[in-house]
Structure 1
Amino acid sequence: MRRTSLVAIAAAALAAGALTATSTGVATADPAPFVLRGSVNQLYVLDATPGTALELVDSGNAVVGTGTVDTAGSLAWRELDKGTYTVRTTSGPVESDTATVSDYADPAPAQSFYDGQTLPEGFSYLQTRDGTTLSVNVVFPSGSGPYPTVVEYSGYDPSNPANTRMAQIYTALGYAYVGVNIRGTGCSGGSFRAFEAIQSLDGYDVIETVAAQSWAKFHEAGMVGISYPGIEQLYVAQTQPPHLSAISPLSVIDDTYQGTLYPGGILNTGFAVPWATDRDKQAEPYGQGWEQGMVDGGDTVCAANQDVRLQNPDLLALINDNPFYTKAVGDPISPMLFVHKINVPVFLAGAWQDEQTGGHFPSMLDDFTGTPHLYATMVNGSHTESLSLGVLDRYADFLDLYVARRTPTATKAFVGPVVASSITGVSGLQMPKGLDYSGLSYEQALAKFEAQKPIRVLFEEGAADGQPSGSPLPRFEKSFGSWPIKGAKPTAWFLTSGGELAAKPSTTSPRKARVRSYRADASALPATTYTGSSGGIWAAHPAYHWKQIPAGKGLGWITPPLKKTVVAVGTGSVDLWIRTPRARDTDLEVTLSEVRPNGKEVYVQSGWLRASHRKLAAARSTVISPVHTNRKADAQRLSNKRFTKVRVELFPFAQPFRKGSRIRITLDAPGNSRPLWAFDTISHGERVQVATDRAHRSRIVLPLVAGVDVPKQAPPACGSLRSQPCRTYQG
């Protein structure tokens, strides 16, 4: 198989002025016994003697770093200021030539740098601006080029030639597929840290190199991918590659800290920590496994690219060292803070009950202020729901219109059911009837697509009429003009001492009011509601184990039967007045459910809060969306004498509560609410009291949306809704 000439790439880079001879280790004087490579706010030492102690010296001859060469002969320094540096041994000493460290804000390489690289069909490498090579796998669709082109870019294994899952989807839809491993993973060079800034610039270089290929139609490329490669699209697109046509991030996050890692300030040990552990392991030398086969087959580039892996920072240590939000660590990995920079069309989709990334992503939709077109589809369901039939229909149209620049084709009608069936195990599925582009020119089709309201909510996925229970299709849908939903009415129900949710607040004085309490015992229930395989949870009917809260271990409140059907769409706020007589902190979990007239209780959504993290970001918080600062300086212990108000955010959701149903919330210690999420909780039996009198108006506030036409037929059967467990209600 033909490979890219790395010598030619390096020569082109030097000619373009993107790299200097000193930054790639080309000596101008007697060479030191190691090689330096300057990078973007980083510097690598390569081919050094293991165990050698080295000093990093800036242009003012000040020592700004020290380190010891690892067993692979490498050493890396991160977070360096722009400038020139030398490295010297502490014994001797022997000093290197000068290496140049660039800055994230520096201009991109000249176009000639990208034009000088050739990517053949199959496996090869491309070079980024600092000389690092990234492994690439190119798969063409049938027919002759040039082809509309999409890029999947992540730390999984998109460049692994044996990984054909995603390539098959996009080539079947008529696109050239380019899978690229981020630095420090697979056969790519460099050192890895999750969501590091340099990966965004690498992504810029990836898009520009791919777009420069003769086989890339329009000399542009779009981006695709679900989960990790979906999130990476947001990081890359913020750098505004000139030849990026569009992005389609699926099942993503809006805020790494609050949305997934520390929801409510409580460490997510069920998904987030294991995910980080897996990323660390897979970024070790030959950590993904397939690299060894490439090296055994003679790939010397892949072998050399393993050498810097021992310099990867400890991701778990970074997590454990930052239990509070800090701007330095948190801001760069919070997409909501930078998606305003994205200036290409965006198609975004995900599920409210996503068992992995969590479903908090809609909270950033109104931050996409720079894109000319944002289309978002939200649905109840799991992590893979963003590839369900109801989503893929509009998703395929988006790619056709904004990447391929063609009238949407009928190919999706064949591809969609195959994808959905392979994920869920449900056969015989068909693509739902979507927009009809018959006889339309490209311009007419584009106008028709853009005339649709951009925010699309699919309701009751799993209960589509005429389809098997649990199928990845919705029963009905509704589109809106913006997010949050304009016109949504914040509606409050007040907690009572008798366990009811009342439309009006209590008038009882604090002295006469009865205080309810529970023992916050996380060990009283299983940590998660599912124990099967990660793929098994995407099937039509996973074996959920959503347990009842044992007596005394939690509290519940419920409305009377609803007199009319209401639909809630958005975030919710549960405002509680609590006291912990013998503790100064506690972890809270609130779960929202629907109790139907037939006695079945359906899970809707949850929210979490460590009480000491209750400080609100006042400018960002609303009556239905409490936003916490999660900063160490704002943390405050609870009083064990007086009641304290805390506001727990219910993650975004959309749910019709039909006439005759009752809305319920439960309050307990974290756990037993999500399939994979578990928590490093401080709750180990402390008594938590909840006040509900006229001076302490505990309440739940939900955003009710008018104008949603809920089907008149009976509610979905218990267990049919995707990722919404169902059980028999016990008051």
Structure 2
Amino acid sequence: MRIRTALVAISLAALAATAFHPVGAASAADPEGTVRGSVNQLSVLDATPGAHVELLDADSAVVGTGTVDEQGSFLWRELDPGTYAVREDGVSLGTGDVTDFAGPAPAQSLYDDQTLSEGFNYITTRDGTTLSANVTFPSGAMPAGGYPTVVEYSGYDPSNPANTTMATLFNTLGYAYVGVNVRGTGCSGGAFMTFEPIQSVDGYDTIETVAAQSWVAGKVGMVGISYPGIEQLYVARTEPPHLAAITPLSVIDDTYRGTLYPGGILNTGFAVPWAQERADQAEPYGQQWAKDRADAGDTVCAENQRVRLQNVDLGTMIDQNPTYDPAVLDQINPSLWVKDINVPVFLAGAWQDEQTGGHFPNFLDDFAPGVPVYATMTNGSHAESLSLGIFGRYADFLDLYVGKRVPGSAKQFVAPVLSQSITGVSGLSLPKQIDYTGLSYQQALAKYEAQKPVRILFEEGAAAGQPSGSPLPRFEKSFSAWPIESAKPTAWYLGKRRLRNHPVDSSVADGVRRYSADPSALPATDFPDPDANIWAAHPTYDWQQIPKGKGLGWISAPLKKTMVSIGSGSLDVWIRTPDADDTDLEATISEVRPNGTEVYVQSGWLRASHRKLDAAESTVTNPVHTDLAADQAPLPAGQFTKVRLALFPFAQPFRKGSRIRITLDAPGGARPLWAFDTTIAHGETVQVAADRKHPSRLVLPIVPGVKVPAKAPACASLRSQPCRTYP
């Protein structure tokens, strides 16, 4: 699922059929094929289908081989920089120069010599690949000096002229909008692999080409939610000189641990289907709009399909990396390199995000010191980062850091329209905003920067005086840093069925509980209708209690005072599996209220063989596992072993009189859209020890000083937090 765009007609008269400029191309006198160098890649075009090709380095040693596909192409990836030669069935096709990801940028003339007009265009990157781009301008006369400009960049269809919701949104806010398809998608040339490094340098070239246009005022910004939000991180790390700021919404901090293999368990409910959809849409004419353009005479779009059979098989790549392979996965782990981003960042997302997952706050402290990073987090869904509680600060950020102007008023009518289109709730408006009346630009910027950068919105969906389920928070609190510096790790120890303030004083035999690990005991997901609008005010959830014998639960006594937890949590449990050497675990925390209702808060997962901790990264409330193949280990037979499950970040007020509940079972039934590959499960018995020798416990970060409304919101009013009866 994604933010979809409305169909709006737009003139194609400005189509710019940019010339194709291969780098290191073979001589025109050699008709057998074209060798084309790139960034850590080299391709062969127009070769003989089925022919055997060899790649030779500068010493004439064969360093790669392949078979030409039916479109006459072959592509080598992950090459060291240098000059390479290619032979087809022993006959030379020519040479090509391969540059490096970390190499110098092209001459400014590459960007200055390109002209983009309003409408459909192609941007030429440093290796000669052309990327499809669609440009739209705000209505009315162009301001003196040009338009403030934003770029959306992804493998969806931002350059599709008929897909105009985001263009209309930003045009209405006063920005020129440029939607660009990454290589290997839409009408863009080249081959595709999700988030591969060459897309980052393509993004650099895109930003610099757009910034060089006469109609652009100053530096440009980047926009987008989800896929185009994540791509902003990849582009910004290359430090384009004319990038003003980025606004990544609903993103991933670590693809492996946050979404693809949370806890080392493959996410087959969202991550795998999403990857397959990307692969399908990157096939030759995998997006119908590209086929329509080619059929209408766009020869560049047609030409750009011919390397698509060299796309990486994403399904195979996922299957081949069940553990964390740094050589493969570091490049899709933004937490390792967001320190290289040197422009202001506005970031927002939701704890219960049913797509990217809500793990993202864990990289907020990885950005470089001194770089302004404004982060807003809330309960809610994947689309919550565009909610009314966030949109005003988002629009102000763009005005101040990209538009270089005092924030305007267009957000007041844009935001409610956008919100209604996403959630179906009408009649809403922005909450009270920062007042910039009468301020100069520098004064307005100073006022914005005076706000604490980490903003937590609570109880989205239960705002006073608004319809239940509205995308507005009930209250909020801001902080100076993440993790919250004042958070105090607070432990509850597991007893027989209770959470206690101290370990149970009992023998091992008295402190053991057990369940049968059965992933089929519950539906794979708690959202039974994937075609329904999960972003609506009141989606229909099927959040079921764990059947007897299929899981365990522990619950605290009624709280004597209100507690607010903000951050990641840790369930540290001592387990034994007498009839297996591994098991998959899912922990879910909830709030049980005095009226007998139970509200979902957050979950975490772990394959027990992935239990090895990264000692340098782990904290008492946030266990981080290495997930390395060398660190995998079966559970030792006949003894209890401590494992730590990381509860994904959340913010939740647990009110006086409420009880904190934690459950443990096999994965499934606790999260919308997410499901898991639990093929290691065979109904194994999982025993949990809780005594002084095995002090199993729940540890949460409790933050003082947060003022909480005394009365709890109505059951099922909170966005993306299902509510049920507690038996």
> What TM bracket, shorter-length normalisation?
over 0.9
Shift of 1:265: 0.2
Residue 53 of structure 1 deviates from its aligned partner by 1.4
The counterpart of 2:94, out of the listed 93, 97, 102, is 97
1:558 aligns with 2:555: yes
SS for the counterpart of 2:140 is coil
Per the TM alignment, residue 26 of structure 1 is displaced from its structure 2 partner at its CA by: 4.2
SS in 2 for 1:235: helix
Distance (Å, rounded) in 1 between the aligned partners of 2:87 and 2:25: 17
Give the letter for the 1:456 counterpart.
R
Task: Measure the CA separation in 1 of the matches of 2:544 and 2:635.
Answer: 29
Per the TM alignment, residue 296 of structure 1 is displaced from its structure 2 partner at its CA by: 1.3
Between the aligned partners of 1:417 and 1:440, the Cα distance in structure 2 is: 26
Superposed, 1:166-315 pairs within 5 Å as 166-218=166-218, 220-315=219-314
Tell me the secondary structure at the aligned position of residue 98 of structure 1: strand
Show structure 2 runs of 5+ residues with no match.
1-12
Kept in 2, the 8 Å contact 1:519–1:687? The answer is yes
Residue 544 of structure 1 is matched in structure 2 by 541
Q: Distance in 1 between matches of 2:308 and 2:370?
A: 36
Structure 2: distance between partners of 1:310 and 1:701? 49
Q: CA RMSD in A?
A: 1.1
Give, in angstroms, the shift of residue 523 of structure 1.
0.5
Taking the TM superposition and a 5 Å limit, the aligned residue runs for 1:24-173 are 24-27=25-28, 30-90=29-89, 93-145=90-142, 146-173=146-173
Instruction: Provide the secondary structure at the position in 2 that maps to 1:399.
Output: helix
Question: 2:25·2:95 contact (CA, 8 Å) conserved in 1?
Answer: no
- Please state if 1:635 is matched with 2:605: no
Structure 1 letter corresponding to 2:55: L
Please give the secondary structure, in 2, of the residue aligned with 1:250: coil
Deviation digits for residues 678-728 of structure 1 (CA, Å, limit 9, x no counterpart): 00012231100000011000000000000101012x211111000000000
Q: What residue number does 1:385 align with?
A: 384
Once the two structures are TM-superposed, the CA of residue 672 in structure 1 deviates from its matched residue by 0.5
Tell me whether 46-55 or 656-665 shows the greater mean CA deviation.
46-55
* 1:702 is aligned to 2:700: yes
Aligned to 2:499: 501
Which residue identity does 2:303 align to in structure 1?
A
Letter in 2 for 1:454: P
The aligned residue for residue 447 of structure 2 is 448
Identity across the alignment (%): 69
Runs of 4+ with deviation above 6 angstroms: none
Q: Closer, same or farther in 2 for the Cα pair 1:463/1:26, shift >3 Å? A: farther
State the TM-score, normalizing by the size of structure 1: 0.96
8 Å Cα contact 1:579/1:644 also seen in 2: yes
Q: Contact 2:268 / 2:674 at 8 angstroms: preserved in 1? A: yes
Aligned mates of 1:316, 1:288 — CA distance in 2: 19
Partners of 2:347 and 2:488 in 1: how far apart?
A: 25
CA contact (8 A) 2:583 2:681 kept: yes
Q: Tell me if the contact between 2:150 and 2:223 (Cα under 8 Å) persists in the aligned partners.
A: yes
* Aligned counterparts of 2:535 and 2:528: Cα–Cα separation in 1: 13
- How far apart are 1:3 and its partner, in Å? 3.1
Partners of 1:580 and 1:424 in 2: CA distance: 45
Partner of 1:661: 658
Q: Deviations over 1:46-100 (max 9, x none)?
A: 111211111111111111111111111111111111111111122xx32022211
Change (3 A) 1:112 1:534: farther
The 5 Å alignment of 1:469-480 reads 469-480=468-479
Cα drift, residue 370 of structure 1: 5.0
Question: Does structure 1 conserve the Cα–Cα contact (< 8 Å) formed by 2:17 and 2:300?
Answer: no
What is the CA deviation profile of residues 557-611 of structure 1, one whole-angstrom value per residue up to 9, with x for unaligned ones? Answer: 0000001100000000000000001100000000000000000000000000000
With 233-242 and 525-534 compared, the bigger mean Cα shift is at 525-534
Q: Which residue in the other structure is 1:14 paired with? A: none
- Structure 1 gap ranges (5+): 11-18
Q: Tell whether the 8 Å contact from 2:457 to 2:477 is kept in structure 1 after alignment.
A: yes
Distance 1:638 1:450 in 2: 50
Look up the equivalent residue of 1:394 and give its one-letter code. R
Given the alignment of the two structures, is residue 599 of structure 1 paired with residue 583 of structure 2, yes or no? no
Amino acid at match of 2:694: H
User: CA deviation digits over 1:191-222, x for unaligned, max 9?
Assistant: 0000100000000000000000011111x110
Contact 1:345 1:371 in 2 (8 A): no
- Equivalent-residue separation in structure 2 for 1:529 and 1:26 (angstroms): 60
CA distance in 2, matches of 1:643, 1:51: 57
Question: Equivalents in 1 of 2:670, 2:338: separation in Å?
Answer: 30
Give, as a single letter, the amino acid of the residue that structure 2 aligns with 1:3.
L
Aligned counterparts of 1:575 and 1:89: Cα–Cα separation in 2: 59
TM-score norm. by structure 2 comes to 0.97
What is the rounded CA distance, in whole Å, between the counterparts of 1:337 and 1:393 in structure 2?
A: 30
Report the residue type matching 1:502 in the other structure.
R
Deviation at 1:640, TM superposition (A): 2.7
Q: Please state how far the C-alpha of 1:24 moved relative to its aligned partner.
A: 3.2
- Aligned: 1:575 with 2:587: no
| 2:8 aligned residue | none
Distance 2:102 2:195 in 1: 17
Give yes or no for contact 1:187–1:306 (8 Å, CA) kept in 2: yes
Aligned length: 711
Deviations 1:650-669 (A, max 9, x none): 00000000000000000000
Residue of structure 2 in register with 1:355 after alignment: 354
Letter of the aligned partner of 2:162 in structure 1?
Answer: A
Q: Which amino acid aligns with 2:453?
A: P
Contact 2:530 2:673 (C-alpha < 8 Å) held by counterparts = no
Amino acid in the other structure paired with 1:157:
D
**What amino acid sits opposite 2:693 in the alignment?**
A
Give, in whole Å, the separation in 1 of the partners of 2:261 and 2:305: 32
Q: 2:667, 2:676 within 8 Å by CA — same for their partners in 1?
A: yes
State the Cα deviation string for residues 323-374 of structure 1 (Å, max 9, x = none): 0001101111000000000000000000000000000000000001155210
